Amino acid sequence: MPNGALTPLRVVKLALLAVGLAALAMVILKLAYPISPPLPPRDVRPSVPAEGKTVESRPATHTPSSPVQAPAIEFSREGLAGQLATGVERVVGPGKAQAAVLTRGDARWVCILADAGTPGRHFELDPGLRPDDFPAIKDNGFLPPPPPMARTTTSIYRSLTKTAMGYDAARGDRIIILLCPRSEWPRLALQWPPSNP
């Protein structure tokens, strides 16, 4: 067979080389030009009306028990949020965790949403946060986890998150763990706790 002939093995090698180069190009492009996911629509905050005029706005999605409008939780695979989600996925499995990070002054608030693996919605909050301060807990039907889940699952996710983010409670860092079946994630309407819980 001539030296330059295409054998099935050579075709497979060339195909694998092409796929590898394409993947490398995608990684380089993603690092050079990161693309953030589109932001979900937000509530329109009322503006100050001119004298004698009224301004209408869409109603806020928060409950009457939360007079302060809190921003929506936006999960991401970029930066710290991506690192945290990847860390939790090492335990729960690929594609079964999301993370969001909100900066409040020097503090960082982190929300971990993970596939519970069982029916039901559960939450775990850091000390200093109360369920009443977090309207999304009640609005989305989250309950405290049963003792075995609290001792194992949520404590593992919290430990992984604390280590990965360099958690500092004195600075005001806080972690919120939410567990529910992945199939229910698209139906969740989550907002951060108000800025002054």
Residue 99: inside a domain: yes
Can you tell me the distance from the alpha carbon of 95 to that of 86, in angstroms, rounded to the nearest whole number?
9
Q: Percentage of residues in the chain with pLDDT exceeding 70?
A: 66
Residue 114: inside a domain: yes
Residue 192: inside a domain: no
What's the start-to-end Cα distance of the chain, in Å? Answer: 77
Residue that wins the pLDDT comparison between 68 and 170: 170
Residue 96: inside a domain: yes
Average pLDDT, the chain: 76
pLDDT of residue 25: 46
Q: Would the pLDDT of 111 be above 80?
A: yes
Can you tell me the distance from the alpha carbon of 190 to that of 114, in angstroms, rounded to the nearest whole number?
14
| Buried b or exposed e, range 15-43, using 16+ CB within 10 angstroms | eeeeeeeeeeeeeeeeeeeeeeeeeeeee
Residue 2: inside a domain: no
Predicted confidence (pLDDT) per residue in 149-177, tens digit: 767 888 899 999 999 999 999 999 999 99
Structure pTM? Answer: 0.64
Indicate the pLDDT class of residue 69, thresholds 50, 70 and 90: low
Residue 180: inside a domain: yes
Residue 69: inside a domain: no
pLDDT of residue 44: 34
Q: How do strand 107-115 and strand 97-104 relate by DSSP bridges?
A: antiparallel
Print the domain residue range for 85. 79-187
Helix (H) or strand (E) run with residue 182 in it: none
How many structural domains is the chain composed of? 1
Residue 172: inside a domain: yes
